[in-house]
Amino acid sequence: MNSRTPSTLPALAGRRLDELRASAPLVQAITNTVVSTVTANSLLALGASPAMVDAPGEAGAFAPIADALLINLGTPQENTVAAMHEAAESAGRAGTPWVLDPVAVGALPLRTTAAGLLVAARPTVVRGNASEIIAVAGAGSGGRGTDSTATVADAEDAARELAVRTGGVVAVSGAVDLITDGTRTARVHNGHILLTRVTGGGCVLGAVMAAFTAGGGDPFEAVIAATVVYGLAAERAAALAPRPGSFSVALLDSLDAVTAGLVEQKAIIR
């Protein structure tokens, strides 16, 4: 990790959180209809500014204006898929960092084809569960809808290969999140099982990653910081509200409440 070691990464993640809040990055989110409001509110709670610009003819024009872009394939329609391609190509030309969340790829043809084309556009980050990452890498057929049927360990080789192919970072979400750029690998042990029992638990993480990559610098470190901050917010929310309905609200509050000091104290990165 160059001069970085696991012992210095928590402090770095805390500094990145402070920098994010100071800059209030503008995050363009082309995301699924199920989580659009949750995603926008989560970005606001974190300290970023959401822009849900997802129409063809506008999405590509907006990507150079945004500080970062999220593309989430959760509920693909022909018009939004067209907007995704516009935005990805425009972001690539402008140097806008962008995150691809290939939700439920593998078994369903529209999203699987779209994901393949978007991967070819070289996203800064690809984030998904183990089955999604395996499918995007071409090493499997996907999971059961949005649920993974593979483990993070199963996806480790596919994640590294995909990172090398895209020249970016791949994040595999699970009980312990794995993050790799093909050479370096980190594991983040923060988080809570309740994230799997509410709508948008993984999708929001993709948006948080986009917000952290907006600051520039090393995207590998940005994705580690995003994963730690989101995981700690989930831990805090679960301590306050141990049922799914109240947890959803507490998670928003906790994204607002998490501090650099808490990150430095509680981050678990291997």
* Residues making up the binding site: 52, 127, 173, 200
The annotated binding site for substrate is made up of 52, 200
Query: Coil, strand, or helix at residue 145?
Result: coil
CB distance 146 to 103 below 8 Å: yes
C-beta separation of 188 from 23 below 8 A: no
End-to-end CA distance of the chain: 12
What CA–CA distance (Å, rounded) separates 212 from 85? 22
Give pairs for 252-256: CB < 8 Å, separation 24+: 252/41, 252/42, 252/45, 253/45, 255/42, 255/45, 255/46, 255/208, 255/229, 255/230, 256/45, 256/46, 256/47
Backbone angles phi, psi at 214, to 5 degrees: -60, -20
Annotated binding site for ATP: 127, 173
Q: What CA–CA distance (Å, rounded) separates 170 from 160?
A: 7
Taking residue 144's Cβ as centre, other Cβ atoms within 10 Å add up to 11
Rounded to an integer, what distance in angstroms lies between the CA atom of residue 170 and that of residue 99? 10
**CB crowding 253-268: b at 16 or more within 10 Å, else e:** ebbeebebebbbeebe
165: three-class secondary structure by DSSP:
helix
